[in-house]
A and B are shown apart, each in its own frame.
Chain A
Amino acid sequence: MKHFVKLFLAIVLVLLLAACGSDDAGGSSDGELADKLYLFNWGEYMPQEVLDSFEEEFGVEVVYSTYSSNQEMLTKLNSGTVNYDIVVPTDYIVKRMINDDLLLELNMDNIPNFENIQSVFHERDFDPDNKFSVPYLYGSTGIAYNTTKIEGTPSYADLWNEAYAGHVTVQDDPRESLSMVLQTLGLPMNDPSEEDLQKAKEELAKLHPNLLAYDSSPSAQLISGEAWISHTYSGEAGIAMLENPDITYVLPEEGGELWMDNLVIPKTSENQYTAEVFINYLLEPEVSKQLSDAFPYSNPNQGALDLMSEEERTNAASYPPEDQLANAQWFEDLPPETIQTMNRLYKEVKVE
C-alpha cells in the first residue's frame, strides 16, 4: 500500500512537471521573429484577413483568443495559463496595469508607424509619455435607435419611456449601465458617492420592466427590429446600421461615454520584438482601415482616415459631430470600493 502511494505521488509529480515544461517557441527581443504570437483581444474586434496577411508577409502565426470584458482579460492574464504577447485594454485599465507593473515598455524604434496616429491621441493622461501603449480603436457608448419607431432625437431619459416598453436594451455591465443612469440623473459618473449610486440603482430598477434585455451586443436585435432603442457601443450601432438603414446612432444630450482600447505588451510576453512588429503592422494605414471597415469603431489613425471616403468619415456612429463629442465623458478608473458597490447594486436590480 505504501509503495502504491509512492508510485501514485510519483506519477502525479511527473504529470505536474510535464505540465510545467515550457514550450519555448524561440524568438527573442533583438530582431528575430518568433513563430507564433499570442494575441488576446476583444471578440469581434480583429478581422481574420489581417492576421492571415501578417502571417503571409512575416511568417508569424497569430493565435487570436477573445475576451468580452477588461476584467475577464485581467483575470486570465493574472492566472498565467498563457503568456499572451499582446492584449488590448481600455484606457483606464492601461493606467491600472501600469501602476501594477504588468506592462513592458515599448521600444518605439520598432513602431515607426506610431506617427500615423492623430496627435490628439498621443500622450494621453493614462500613459503620459506613450511608453506602454499604442491606440487601437476608440469609440463611444450612446444610443442606437430605429428611426421608424422613435420620434425625434432620443436622449438617455427616453429609455424609460413606457411607449417603448419591451424594446429597450442597455449594456450588460455594472459600470456601463450605472454610468448611463448617473449621467441621466446629472450625477458624476467618474466620482459617484454612495448616495449617488443608491439613487442610480433605484432608477435602474425603474428601467428594468421597460427592458427587452441587458445586452452588450444588441446589433442583431436592432437589425431584426425587436430592439427600438439601445444603450450600446458605437461599433455595435455601426454594425446594425450596415444591415438596417432605419438604424442610426447619437451621443445623447446627457453626454454619453468615451473610451479607447490600446495595444500593450504584458510583462509575461517572451516575444516583445515580434509583438512590436505586429503593432507596427496594424498601424499601416491600409491595415488599420481594414480594422475599422470590419468593425466600425472610430479609427485614431490619420493615415487610415485619409483613405476613407467622405461617407465613411461622416458616419454618425464612428465619427459623431464635434459638438456631441465635446459633451461626452471619458471613463476613468474608480476606487475598488466604488466598483464593488456598483457590482452589488447592479445584481440587486436583477434579482429583485
Chain B
Amino acid sequence: MIKNIRLAYSMLSPSLIWLLLFLIVPIVMVTVISFTTNEGYGGIIYEFSTEAYETAFLSSMYLKVIWNSIVWAFIATIICLFLAYPFAYFIAHAGKWKNLLILLVMIPFWTNLLVRLYAWIILLNGEGVINNFLMDLGLISDPLTLMYTPASVILGMVYGFLPFMILPIYSSIEQLDKTYLEAAEDLGANPMKTFFTVTLPLTFPGILAGFIITFVPAVSVFVVTDLLTGSKLVMVGNVIRDAFLIEMNWQLGSALSILLMVLVLLSVLVFMKFTSSKDKNFLV
C-alpha cells in the first residue's frame, strides 16, 4: 500500500514540481510583495504594509476597472458559447471532414494574437477595408467608428478566444454515446427534445470547461484594449501591467493581481453553482 503511494507520488512528481515552481511559488511571491512597502521610486522594502490594498479599495477607479473587465469578458464568453456550440456540433457530425475542420480551427492559433489583432485594425479603422468598402458603395458618407469602443474589445476577445470554447465542446459532443440518442428517439422524443434533454446535459462538462478557459484569460487580457482602442479604454490587465512596468509599483500590481484572482475564482464558482442547478432541471 505504502509502496503504491510512493510510486504514485514519484510518478506525479514532475507535474507536482511544475505546479510548485510555476504556480505555488509565484503566487506566494506575489502575495508577499503585495504586503511590502514601496520605497517611492519602486524599490521594495520588506516591511509589512497594507497600503497597496488601501489604494486598490479606496479609489473607486480600480474596482470600476475590474468590474468592466469582468463584464466585458463575460459577454465575450457568452457570445463565444453561442457561436461555438453549433459550430462544434457541426464539426462533430461532419464525418470525414472532421479532422480537417478541427485543423482549420487550430491554424490561427499558431499565429500570435498580436499579429491577428493587427489584421482587425486594417479591417476596422477609419481608413480601413470595411469603411472604404461601405463608402465606395455609397452606403455611408463618413467612416463609422468601429474601433475604440467596448464593442471592439469584445469583438477582439471573441475572435481571439473562440477556439478555447470550440475545442472542449467539440470533444464532449464527439464522445457522446450515440446509443442515448437512439434510446431517446425510440422513446418518441423529437430531435429538439432529444437535444435539450439528452445532448445538452451530457455535453455540459465541455461547456463548463470552455467557459472557464475562455473567461479566465479574457478577463486579464491587455493587448486587445491596447490595439483595438488605442489605449483609450483600459482593462484590469492593462492596469496591472502598467503598475509593474510604467509606475514601478509592484505592490499595487501584486495587490490587484490577488484581488483579480479572488474575484475571478468567485465569479467562476457562482457560474458553476448557477448552472449546475439548471443542469439538474434539464435531467428531470
> In this complex, what residue of B is CB-closest to A348?
B61
How many Å lie between the Cα of A331 and that of B245 in the bound state?
A: 20
A277 contacts the other chain (CB 8 A): no
* Residues in B whose Cβ lies below 8 Å from that of A336: 39-41
- Whether the Cβ atoms of A3 and B6 lie closer than 8 Å is yes
* Residues in A whose Cβ lies below 8 Å from that of B247: 71, 174, 339-340, 343
Known contacts A3-B6, A8-B16, A347-B239; decide if A214 and B232 are in contact (CB<8 Å). yes
Return the CB mask of B1-25 against A: 1 if under 8 Å, else 0. 0100110011001001100110000
* Residues in B whose Cβ lies below 8 Å from that of A215: 230-231
B248 contacts the other chain (CB 8 A): yes
Known contacts A15-B21, A75-B248, A351-B65; decide if A212 and B230 are in contact (CB<8 Å). yes
- Whether the Cβ atoms of B232 and A4 lie closer than 8 Å is no
- Whether the Cβ atoms of A8 and B41 lie closer than 8 Å is no
How many Å lie between the Cα of A80 and that of B236 in the bound state?
A: 27
A332 contacts the other chain (CB 8 A): no
B125 contacts the other chain (CB 8 A): yes
Return the contact of B10 from the options A4, A173, A212, A213 (Cβ within 8 A). A4
Known contacts A11-B17, A344-B59; decide if A75 and B230 are in contact (CB<8 Å). no
How many Å lie between the Cα of A72 and that of B247 in the bound state?
A: 9
Return the contact of A4 from the options B6, B68, B239 (Cβ within 8 A). B6
Return the contact of A12 from the options B17, B39, B248 (Cβ within 8 A). B17
B126 contacts the other chain (CB 8 A): yes
- Whether the Cβ atoms of B17 and A8 lie closer than 8 Å is yes
- Whether the Cβ atoms of A71 and B233 lie closer than 8 Å is no
How many Å lie between the Cα of A211 and that of B65 in the bound state?
A: 20
A interface residues (Cβ-Cβ under 8 A, vs B) = 1, 3-4, 7-8, 11-12, 15, 68-69, 71-72, 74-75, 78, 96, 100, 166, 169, 172-174, 208, 211-215, 224-226, 335-337, 339-340, 343-344, 347-348, 350-352
19 of the cross-chain contacts (CB-CB < 8 Å) are: A1-B6, A8-B16, A11-B17, A12-B17, A12-B21, A68-B245, A71-B245, A74-B41, A75-B245, A75-B248, A213-B148, A213-B229, A213-B231, A215-B230, A224-B127, A226-B127, A337-B40, A343-B242, A343-B249
